[in-house]
Amino acid sequence: MRRALSILLLLFLIGLMPAQAQRVVNVYNWTDYIDPEALKRFTAETGIEVRYDVFDSLETLEAKLLAGHSGYDVVTPSNEPSFSRLIRAGALMPIDRSKVPNWGNLDAGLMRRVESSDPGNRYGGIYLFGTIGLGINPDRIGALAPNAPLDSWDLFFKPENAKLLAPCGIAMMDSAIDVIPSVLKYLGKDPNSTDPADLAAVEKTLMAVRPFIRSFASGGNLEALATGQICMAIDYSGDVIQAAARAKGVTIRYVAPKEGTEVGFDMLAIPADAPHKEEALAFIDFVLRPAVMAGITNFVRYPNAVPAARALIKPELLADTNVFPTDQQIAGFFTIGPVPQSAERARTRMWARFKAGP
Partner 1 sequence: MNRVSVLLPVWCWLLVLLVAPLAIVAAISLGEAADGVPPFTLGFSLDSLRTVWTDPFYRVSFLLSLRVAGISTLCCLLLGYPAALAIARAPERWRDPLLLAIMLPFWTGFLMRVNAWIGILADGGWLAGALSWLAGGPVRLLYTDAALYLGMVYTYLPFMVLPLYASLSRLDPALGEAAADLGAPPWLRFVRVTLPLSMPGVAAGCVLVFIPAVGEYVIPELLGGPGAQLVGRVLWSEFFANRDWPMASALAVTLLVLLLVVPATVQGIWSLRRR
Q: Which residues are at the interface with partner 1 (CB under 8 A)?
A: 59-60, 62-63, 65-68, 85, 88-91, 176, 215-216, 272-273, 341, 344-345, 348-349, 352, 355-357
Residue 196 amino acid letter: P
Considering the complex, state which of residue 113 and residue 210 has its C-beta at the smaller distance from partner 1: 210
How far apart are alpha carbons 62 and 130 in whole angstroms? 20
Considering the complex, state which of residue 271 and residue 290 has its C-beta at the smaller distance from partner 1: 271
Neighbours of 281 (CB within 10 A): 22
Residue 358 amino acid letter: P
Shortest separation between residue 102's beta carbon and partner 1, angstroms: 29
Q: How far apart are the first and last CA of the chain?
A: 75
SS3 41: helix
Shortest separation between residue 62's beta carbon and partner 1, angstroms: 6
Shortest separation between residue 21's beta carbon and partner 1, angstroms: 31
Residue 317 amino acid letter: L
Shortest separation between residue 214's beta carbon and partner 1, angstroms: 9
Considering the complex, state which of residue 90 and residue 120 has its C-beta at the smaller distance from partner 1: 90
Considering the complex, state which of residue 326 and residue 342 has its C-beta at the smaller distance from partner 1: 342
Q: Could you give phi then psi for residue 216, rounded to 5 degrees?
A: -115, 115
Question: What is the chain's alpha carbon radius of gyration, rounded to the nearest angstrom?
Answer: 22
How far apart are alpha carbons 344 and 334 in whole angstroms? 19
Considering the complex, state which of residue 139 and residue 344 has its C-beta at the smaller distance from partner 1: 344
Shortest separation between residue 159's beta carbon and partner 1, angstroms: 19
DSSP-assigned letters across all residues of 126-162: EEEEEEEEEEE-HHHHHHH-TTS-SSSTHHHHSHHHH
Considering the complex, state which of residue 249 and residue 357 has its C-beta at the smaller distance from partner 1: 357
Q: How many CA atoms lie within 13 A of 195 on its CB side?
A: 9
Closest of 199, 196, 197 to residue 181, by C-alpha: 199
Shortest separation between residue 253's beta carbon and partner 1, angstroms: 24
